[in-house]
Amino acid sequence: MTAIHFIVFLPLLAALVAGLGQRFIGALAAKTITTAGLFIAAFLSWPIFIGFLNGSETAYVQPVMTWVQSGDLSFDWELRVDALTAVMLVVITSVSALVHLYSWGYMEEDPDQPRFFAYLSLFTFAMLMLVTANNLVQMFFGWEGVGLASYLLIGFWYKKPSANAAAIKAFVVNRVGDLGFMLGIFGIFWLFGTVSIPEILAAAPDKVGSSIGFLGLRVDTMSLLCILLFIGAMGKSAQLGLHTWLPDAMEGPTPVSALIHAATMVTAGVFMVCRLSPLFETSQFALDIVTIVGATTAIFAATVGLVQTDIKRVIAYSTCSQLGYMFFAAGTGAYGAAMFHLFTHAFFKALLFLGAGSVIHAMHHEQDMRYYGGLRKHIPLTFWAMMAGTLAITGVGILGVGGFAGFYSKDAIIEAAFASESTYHMYGFAIGVIAALLTSFYSWRLMFLTFFGKPRWDQSEHIQHAMHDHHDHHDHSDHDAHAHAATSDGTAGYHPHESPWSMLTPLALLTIGAVFAGFVFHKAFINAEAGQAFWANSTLYFNVHLMHAMHEVPLWVKLSSTVAMLIGLTTAYFMYQRSEDAPQRLAATFGPIYRFFLKKWYFDELYNFVFIRPAFWFGRLFWKQGDIGIIDRFGPNGSAALVSFGSKLAVRLQSGYLYTYALVMLLGLVIAVSWMMVRV
């Protein structure tokens, strides 16, 4: 067995042992096995990635087994290892390993820890299946596996109605996207006669210009297939229209949120578009759609993130916005920049989510930022970790000197969009700059509300309950002393505590990635010469001309993102540090806009009116009129009624008198004779 076998199958083996054997091995063994499996996979993944960076590795395909042979359809289970796969391997295994370790502390009091860790490992295996796929069916297998595992993890606390609803919502919305992906695979097999990714990409240029009938129209074949595939990517990566499941995924435990948003599931769509980038390059129309949807998603999620008060939801909408960046980068032809932002985003977004989890842990499960304040002195390690994540996502840096991870990857996307020659590249550029400003504002807003200013803990019901339980163990004099202190400093007598080492260690390691990932790896991803050499060992289409043009854009373009970041930072500082009532006054002044953002552009209401209410109406119609009124009435209920009537009639006929039976026999004889006479 090779390293790639251990990387892919160790999480699966660990998931099976922890999940099926939880009653026999216990929680400690389940946690140990799954976490060890992921750390081994991560340690094996990094040498592969570094090998492609320094040129010592070349792309290869590792067979596993013969899978399907049915007529003209034939494919094996194979593990493809190239530069694109290597990037995803380190992202998935590293973040997942740290999430596993983090969960030791965060889920310590949960009675179902073995099941939780089994789901995490299963989730990771499904994603690894997806990124190592050498054919579309295997990719779809991993695609659906990730969807299943996400359903299990989002609804992990299944006794909570909101968690169940969120899990169902994620499952249903993703099925819509998956239908597009399936149709795309069917169309590709019809056109190319194979599902092998290398064969499809090699034959794609020869199919340019062909047309196909679809929904009564004659359309360009490659455009249709690419758009269908992109619909699948929209579902998994929560792009506008199929985004509604992502914020609700916060109902799962915080480690789940970090894993879904940083390393798995949401990155699947971006990976698929980049893996099939030579196919997408055959249709400018499809690329235009990708650009428009990605850019619009970036600005949509950024505007909604402005008004969120739940700390996890702010970061969730940030994920949605950053995914929009990745897609419009791909739509403008900068696939290397898209993958670079995916790479750096994994580190600082996992850091932000796990940091938020540490804050929630310290604040007795309180998630509303309005009830935080002044926490930097109480949980300093968490504060500095989240500060590093904020500096990374807002793109803090100095041109020509260096900066945090987002300074390299996000700026590369904005510059590439400006330099691109695609149809809507300026739309992507403009939206990218505006979204950078909004990202800076809501990110610093989160930091100011959480860690700065005066404590507002006494307004939190969670803190009040915690202190009530605490006061039950003390006499009334102590209670009065605490109450007096609460009225004076806003703490309610509560003392936040730093997280245990199992939660802080992942934060420290992710901080390193958030600080240095951009500086260390930017040449391999987006430099014209180094990038061409790196991506040559993959299927990704690397536009050397665009990368050259990207580095030669005007100075004001290079500074635009930094200026936007500074404007967002300054605005957030004055609104949340210098003037306490400024947010309320602004919301009152721009009430309709505020409500529009707060209602998430009314997508939920629109979907409720267009899809949910009609679906329930038809469901009730078929249930009451079809099922009860027709099927039950004339089926089982009707049969039962007929049998009952016949039984009652038979009982009445069974009188016990001889003349009654003689009469019946006579009638039967008359009917029989009459029937014989008619036949003759």
Place of tokens 């300074």: 407
Mean pLDDT of 567-578: 90
Confidence band for 263, pLDDT divided at 50, 70 and 90:
low
Per-residue confidence (pLDDT) for residue 480, from 0 to 100? 52
Indicate whether 612 pLDDT > 80. no
In which band, very low, low, confident or very high, does the pLDDT at 623 lie, cut at 50, 70 and 90? Answer: confident
Smallest CA-to-CA distance from 85 within 3, 147, 195 is with 3
- What is the band of 670 on the pLDDT scale with cuts at 50, 70, 90? confident
From the number of C-beta atoms within 10 Å of its C-beta (0-12, 13-18, 19+), residue 401 rates as: exposed
Query: Average pLDDT over the chain, rounded to whole?
Result: 86
Provide Rg for the chain, Cα atoms.
30
Q: Which residues contact 609 (CB under 8 A, 6 or more apart)?
A: none
Place of tokens 């939206």: 431
Better-predicted residue by pLDDT, 70 or 489: 70
pLDDT at 121 over 90: yes
Region 447-466 average pLDDT: 81
pLDDT at 411: 92
Residue bearing the bigger pLDDT, 387 or 68: 387
DSSP 624: I
Alpha-carbon span 367 to 162, nearest angstrom: 15
Q: How many CB atoms lie within 10 A of CB 210?
A: 10
pLDDT above 50 for 485: no
Residue 477 has pLDDT above 70, yes or no: no
Q: Is the pLDDT of residue 516 over 70?
A: yes
Distance CA 182, CA 660 (A): 71
CA distance from start to end of the chain: 86
Q: 266 with 260: CB under 8 angstroms?
A: yes
| pLDDT surpassing 90 at residue 240 | no
pLDDT tens, position by position, 305-334: 998 888 988 998 999 899 999 999 999 999
Of residues 388 and 647, more confidence is placed in 388
Q: Show contacts of 197-205: CB within 8 Å, 24+ apart.
A: 197/80, 197/133, 197/134, 197/135, 197/136, 197/139, 197/275, 197/276, 197/539, 198/134, 198/539, 200/136, 200/276, 200/279, 201/276, 201/278, 201/279, 201/539, 204/278, 204/279, 204/282, 205/282
Q: For residues 162 and 310, is the Cβ–Cβ distance under 8 A?
A: no
CB distance 134 to 196 below 8 Å: yes
pLDDT, residue 86, reads 94
Q: Which of 79-93, 455-469, 513-527 has the lowest mean pLDDT?
A: 455-469
Return d(Cα 198, Cα 649) in angstroms, integer. 75
Q: What integer is the mean pLDDT of 501-518?
A: 92
Whole-model pTM?
A: 0.86
Give tens-digit pLDDT for 347-381.
999 999 999 999 998 888 888 888 888 888 899 99
What confidence tens digit (pLDDT) does each residue in 462-474 have? Answer: 677 666 665 555 5
For 611, residues 6+ apart whose C-beta sits below 8 A from its C-beta are: none
- What DSSP string runs through 606-617? HHIIIIIHHHHH
Q: Enumerate the H helices of 107-242 as residue ranges.
A: 113-131, 136-154, 161-192, 197-203, 221-236
φ, ψ for residue 63, nearest 5 deg: -65, 150
Instruction: Give the highest mean pLDDT range of 45-49, 207-211, 217-221, 642-646.
Output: 45-49
Beta strand residue intervals within 314-376, DSSP E: none
Report residue 435 as tokens.
Answer: 């979204």
Tally of residues, the chain: 680
User: 34-43, 204-213, 627-636 — which is least confidently predicted?
Assistant: 627-636
> How many beta carbons lie within 10 A of that of residue 590, not counting itself?
12
Percent of the chain at pLDDT exceeding 90: 46
Cα distance between residue 117 and residue 520, in whole Å? 32
pLDDT of residue 486: 46
Half-sphere exposure of 559 (CA within 13 A, CB side): 4
CA–CA separation, 301 and 297 (whole Å): 6
pLDDT digits (tens, 9 = 90+) for 131-162: 999 999 999 999 999 888 888 888 888 778 88
Q: What's the rounded Cα separation, in Å, for the pair 574 and 533? A: 47
User: How confident is residue 515, by pLDDT bands cut at 50, 70 and 90?
Assistant: very high
Q: How many other CB atoms sit within 10 Å of the CB of residue 459? A: 15
- The pLDDT confidence band at residue 653, using thresholds 50, 70 and 90, is low
pLDDT at 616 over 80: no
Where is pLDDT greater, at 180 or 1? 180
Q: What is the pLDDT of residues 396-440, one digit of tens each?
A: 999 888 899 999 999 999 999 999 988 899 999 999 999 999 999
